[in-house]
Amino acid sequence: MTVDSLATPLVLALDAMGGDDAPGIVIDGAAIARERYPDLRFIFFGDELKIAALLAERSELKDCSELRHTADVVTADMKPSHALRQGRDSSMRLAINAVKTGEACCVVSAGNTGALMAMAKFVLKTLPGIDRPAIATLIPSQKGETVMLDLGANIECDAENLVQFALMGAIFCRTVLGRKDPSIGLLNIGTEELKGHDEVRIAASILRDRPIPGHLFGFVEGNDITAGTTDVVVTDGFSGNIALKSIEGTAKLISHFLRETIASSLLAKLGYLLALGAFKKLKKRVDPRRYNGAMFLGLQGVCVKSHGGTDAEGFANAIGVARDLVAHGFNKRIAEELAAQYGLDGSGHAAQPQHSEDE
Amino acid sequence: MTVDSLATPLVLALDAMGGDDAPGIVIDGAAIARERYPDLRFIFFGDELKIAALLAERSELKDCSELRHTADVVTADMKPSHALRQGRDSSMRLAINAVKTGEACCVVSAGNTGALMAMAKFVLKTLPGIDRPAIATLIPSQKGETVMLDLGANIECDAENLVQFALMGAIFCRTVLGRKDPSIGLLNIGTEELKGHDEVRIAASILRDRPIPGHLFGFVEGNDITAGTTDVVVTDGFSGNIALKSIEGTAKLISHFLRETIASSLLAKLGYLLALGAFKKLKKRVDPRRYNGAMFLGLQGVCVKSHGGTDAEGFANAIGVARDLVAHGFNKRIAEELAAQYGLDGSGHAAQPQHSEDE
């Protein structure tokens, strides 16, 4: 059963208790998302009293929502293994379960990332042919947007993991972003063939040989992510997480410098006021809420993680990301691609005779 | 023999043939540096005819310089192993040799990074107690500047390598930047004790136990580099290189966005003109030339790598970085620190009985 085959309306399972300002941002975010996509319906998992009070003020949202009371919550500092064992009745777990049972087409949570990944993997399982799920997101670039994965689900990856990430990234570009021949870059510390560790070099050689839904550009470096050199940037979760947070940190640093620059003189302040309209557009363009919604790719079900510190607008964007994955039949396309291009053996794993000795 | 003990004037060996616009930027950069630091003298290694022609126009620089003709050049695309074998008479190699013989107190090159590191390691050797040299640089932060290392010399590092990088970073902060109790952050993908791969967690546990010239802050994430959370950020060369280039790429992206914002309307252009003075200051503040000059730390001699694409101003800054390391006796301080805090065994390696089994 694939959740992608569900007819509209799309029912989303929302973990109402995850995130710094939950459940407020979840309810308000759902209301914003519902205005954007009238085909959405919601099941809220969490504290009945709190959610009911918030829904009472929003009759339109209430009419397209269902409420499931859960007493347990996965906290932000809970270890994934602990959450997996002890959080069976948590809002997060029950929201994921709703995807498994087919009640919902996807789950969105702003809670503990590690716990969400552990639970989603345990409950939903990986797609046939995918060994490990990866976390992916869109990053603004000089050419539009770059898809980067993995962002932290897998600290260490072998070459085959990286190849599967490349495949998922390329399929995402084709199905969700509509890019016909996505280019794939493997993140490295130089573009020459001999650079980098074994895994990234073996992954490159596999991707050169295998048919993929797109094409291998080659190695890319950290600056290529925001330059938009390739449509997809593939890396292990350690490097990917560090790259993503370095990018976020630099954006913060420069906006800090900009504020200081504007405040530094009366002329600068006047100039800023004149240019206010343009600066507001810039602010909107680099608004981190716009890029909120990290996708857990490679699972038998759609799961999106919202930033824990986001607001209703950001949470609504994360809902939009989940909706896009479902509406474009992303998971179905992965299954089709794996079946068509590589064939699947009895175990549900893609057959890779030519490189199986490398791992 | 330590080069740090040389009396003024300071003699610098400059690889005049390294970099996209060599030897022009090297000669012009030396002239700028000489104005800043009248105690500098230079030995230029490279094409005699070209350098002599450039020096002919600069009598002041000529008077404090010496010229050594070299016919060979290490090219930008040469493999380090090839450069090491075939480049014995290159400008790069002979400039490094001058540090080894004591003729020069340091070497600066804008040439091939991998070749420079391979040659510098081969000729100068590592400092007693340091197993591997690392590449370090200063990165602008919300609190001033962060020292980060390694930036690409060592793709894979064990815990002891990371500990030695931490030590060198801390000593750099104390001796060159004058920060008395530098804080050290280990780059990771979360701040909790159990996050990350073995090496980074073992490094943390070693640094918690050992006396260090500063203190361990703990794990930091990519955004902490530019936030200035710690004085020093320690990581392996793969992650460090990706973080550095992600930071550079983001700065470029935002300046691209800013230019588009300013060009987007007449009011924005007018506002920009009013604020021009302030924006010029901002531009200067984030000017990559200001941060030019990557330090190769851990060698028995000072070696600084300038960006290959820099101009004379940038090259002058790289010379300034080399001068600072020499003038503050950085290498001598490392040797003293290792001897005082850990003791050195006969092999010249620091004794680390408590953790030697971890590596």
Query: Within an 8 Å CB–CB cutoff, is residue B249 touching chain A?
Result: yes
Mean pLDDT estimate for chain B: 90
The yes-or-no answer to whether A1-130+298-328 and A136-291 have a common fold is: yes
Q: Which of A196, A245, A271 sits opposite B221 (nearest CB)?
A: A245
Angle at Cα A113 formed by Cα A111 and Cα A118, nearest 5°? 110
Q: Are A245 and B221 in contact (CB under 8 A)?
A: yes
Q: What is the mean pLDDT of residues A44-60?
A: 96
Q: Which helix (H) or strand (E) holds B31?
A: helix B24-36
Check pLDDT > 70 for residue A31: yes
Beta-carbon contacts of residue B349 (< 8 Å; ≥ 6 apart): B128, B129, B131
What percentage of chain B reaches a pLDDT higher than 70? 92
Number of alpha carbons in the 13 Å side-chain half-sphere of residue B275: 26
Q: Is the pLDDT of residue A349 over 70?
A: no
Backbone angles phi, psi at A142, to 5 degrees: -65, -20
CB atoms B189 and A238 under 8 Å = yes
In this structure, the number of other CB atoms found within 10 A of the CB of residue A256 comes to 14
d(CA B53, CA B61) in angstroms, rounded, equals 12
Name the strand (E) or helix (H) holding B107: strand B106-109
User: Measured between CB atoms, which of B155, B246, B286 is closest to A247?
Assistant: B246
Burial of B197 (C-beta count, 10 Å sphere; 0-12/13-18/19+)? middle
Question: Any idea where the domains of chain A sit in the sequence?
Answer: 1-130+298-328, 136-291
pLDDT tens digits for B129-149?
899 999 999 999 999 999 999
- Residue A356 pLDDT more than 90? no
Q: Which residues pair with B186 in a beta bridge?
A: B219, B234
Which residues in chain B are closer than 8 Å to A239, comparing Cβ atoms? 238-239, 242
Type of residue numbered B21: D
Q: What is the pLDDT of residues B324-353, one digit of tens each?
A: 999 999 999 988 888 876 665 434 454 443
Classify domain A1-130+298-328 at the CATH superfamily level: Isopropylmalate Dehydrogenase (3.40.718.10)
**Exposed/middle/buried for B208, CB within 10 Å: 0-12, 13-18, 19+?**
exposed
Give the C-alpha separation, A122 to A133, whole Å.
Answer: 11
**Residue keyed to tokens 């206010």:** A276
- Of the given ranges (A298-307, B116-125, B194-203), which has the lowest mean pLDDT? B194-203
Between CA B353 and CA B359, with CA B355 as vertex, the angle to 5 degrees is: 120
pLDDT on residue A346: 38
Q: How far is B244 from chain A (nearest CA, A)?
A: 7
The sign one gets for the Cα dihedral A108, A109, A110, A115 is negative
B290 contacts B139 by C-beta, under 8 angstroms = no
Under an 8 A CB cutoff, do A252 and B227 touch?
yes
Contact A225 B249 (CB under 8 A): yes
- Residue B28 CA, chain-centre distance (Å), reads 21
What mean pLDDT do residues A6-27 have? Answer: 90
Nearest to A246 among B247, B261, B272 (CB): B247
What does the alpha-carbon distance between residue A79 and residue A94 come to, in Å, rounded to a whole number? 18
Average pLDDT over residues A295-300: 96
Least CA distance to A191: which residue of chain B? B77
- CA B300/CA B1 separation, integer angstroms: 9
- Please say if the pLDDT value at position B62 is more than 50: yes
Which position has the higher pLDDT, A33 or A6? A33
CA distance B299 to chain A (A): 22
- Convert B235-267 to b/e letters by CB count within 10 Å (16 or more is b): bbbbbbbbbbbbbbbbbbbbeebbeebbebeee
Strands B106-109 and B302-305: parallel
Q: Given an 8 Å threshold on Cβ–Cβ distance, is A274 in contact with B277?
A: no
A226 CA: distance to closest CA in chain B (Å): 6
Say yes or no to pLDDT of B128 above 60: yes
E-strand stretches of chain A: 10-15, 40-46, 65-69, 106-109, 134-141, 144-149, 183-187, 215-220, 232-234, 294-297, 302-305
Query: For residues B338 and B343, what is the distance between their CA atoms, to the nearest angstrom?
Result: 6
Q: How many CA atoms lie within 13 A of B145 on its CB side?
A: 16
What kind of architecture, by CATH, is found in domain A136-291? 3-Layer(aba) Sandwich (3.40)
Q: What is the dihedral of CA A219, A220, A222, A226, to 10 degrees?
A: -150
For every residue of B225-258, which 3-state class applies, written as one string? HHHCCCCEEECCHHHHHHHHHHHHHHHHHHHHHH
Of A77, A241, A286, the CB nearest to B189: A241
Reading the block at residue A135, the tokens are 């976390």
Q: Work out the pLDDT band at A8, boundaries 50, 70, 90.
A: low
Would an 8 Å CB–CB cutoff place B164 in contact with chain A? no
- What's B137-290's CATH class? alpha beta
Residues 6+ apart with CB under 8 A from A260: none
Tell me what percent of the residues of chain B surpass a pLDDT of 90: 77
Contact with chain B for residue A285, Cβ under 8 A: yes
Residue A168 pLDDT: 96
What was the pLDDT predicted at B10?
Answer: 94
Could you tell me if B308 and B111 are in contact, meaning their C-beta atoms sit under 8 angstroms apart?
Answer: yes
pLDDT at A284 over 90: no
Residues A320-339 have a mean pLDDT of 92
B8 contact A CB<8A: no
Q: Which residues of B touch A285 (CB under 8 A)?
A: 257
Q: Is B284 on the interface with A (CB under 8 A)?
A: no
Please provide the DSSP assignment of A175-211 as one string: HTS--SS-EEEEE-S-SSTT-S-HHHHHHHHHHHHS-
Give the integer Cα–Cα distance in Å for B215 and B222: 20
Tokens of A229: 């050199």
Among chain A residues, CA nearest to B268? A275
How far off is chain B from A82, nearest CA to CA, in Å?
A: 13
Nearest beta carbon to residue B155 from set A155, A197, A248:
A197
B253 to chain A, any CB pair closer than 8 A? The answer is yes
Residues 6+ apart with CB under 8 A from B228: B141, B142, B143, B144, B145, B146
Q: How far is it between the farthest Cα atoms of chain A?
A: 72
Amino acid type, A151: L
Q: Which residues of B touch A275 (CB under 8 A)?
A: 261-262, 265, 267-268, 270-272, 275
Residues of chain A found within 8 Å of residue B251, distances taken between Cβ atoms: 250, 254
The pLDDT value given to residue B3: 42
Mean pLDDT of the A292-316 span: 96
Closest partner residue to B223 (CB to CB) among A196, A246, A281 is A246
Does the beta-carbon distance from B285 to A249 stay under 8 Å? no
Give me the interface pTM, i.e. the ipTM: 0.90
Distance from CA of A293 to the nearest CA of B (A): 18
- The enclosing H or E element of B84 equals helix B80-86
Check CB contact of A266 with chain B, cutoff 8 Å: no
Q: Which residue do the tokens 């503040």 mark? A: B285
A249 interfacial to chain B (CB closer than 8 Å) = yes
> What pLDDT score does B355 carry?
38
Residue A218 clears pLDDT 70, i.e. is over it: yes
Cα within 13 Å of Cα(B107), Cβ side: 34
pLDDT band at B287 (very low <50, low <70, confident <90, very high): confident
* Concatenated DSSP letters of B281-293: HHHHHT-GGGG--
Does the pLDDT at position A136 exceed 70?
yes
